[in-house]
Amino acid sequence: MRRTIATLALLLALLATAPVWAAEAPADPELDRFVYSAVLEGLNELRPPHATVDRVLEEDSEGRPVSFIPGCPICMPAREAFRAYRAQPEPGSPTSGALLESLGSEKDLERTAALGRLVQDLVTRRIAASGWSDAEAEVWAQRFQSAAAEGQRQLSAHQARGVEAYEMMWSCMICDGASRACKRR
């Protein structure tokens, strides 16, 4: 009995200390891989400086990413791609430009909006290179739509908890960017 109570107490303690946004297995692994590859390939071509990527990957005091919505099926693989890019050596001649400047902005909304535009561009390129038929594109558009709806649910849940970084967002801008890329195919 004591052992059971101790085990339960330990489990409860673990649950209480675990971040509420702890990563889960993606609901749509294929979409997860698609977004991850699209963003990583794009970053390797774009070659943003590590300082900019560090800003994008910043976390708040509770270890929550400030530029990505935890639990969002589109944000999470995009974030993993940024982390994978950051794990590589810094490119010798990093690029610059307005988009990269916004990506490195201190303002949460400006930075996240720039991420949304970047993801839109990269997903658009990936779709163009995929050679999908109209029927396949339709299926993928629905998958992105469903993932974006989940992203919106996650955003609402985090806003309800009062997370400051997401306070001014109307919707998940990375999801919006990916969804727009599908619609504009």
Footprint of other proteins on this chain (CB under 8 A)? Answer: 107, 109-110, 112-113, 116-117, 152, 156-157, 159-162, 167-171, 173, 176-177
Between 43 and 114, CB nearer to other proteins:
114
Give the CA radius of gyration of the chain.
18
DSSP, res 173: H
| Least separation in angstroms between CB 173 and other proteins | 7
Between 30 and 101, CB nearer to other proteins:
101
| Least separation in angstroms between CB 98 and other proteins | 13
Between 79 and 111, CB nearer to other proteins:
111
**CA distance readout (Å), 58 to 8, 25, 79, 106, 121:** 34, 22, 11, 10, 22
Between 37 and 156, CB nearer to other proteins:
156
3-state secondary structure of 44: helix
| Least separation in angstroms between CB 160 and other proteins | 4
Between 40 and 122, CB nearer to other proteins:
122
Distance CA 60, CA 103 (A): 17
| Least separation in angstroms between CB 116 and other proteins | 6
DSSP 81-139: HHHHHHHSPPPSS----HHHHHHT-SSHHHHHHHHHHHHHHHHHHHHHHHT--HHHHHH
Q: What counts of helices (H) and strands (E) characterise the chain?
A: 8, 0
| Least separation in angstroms between CB 23 and other proteins | 19
3-state secondary structure of 65: strand
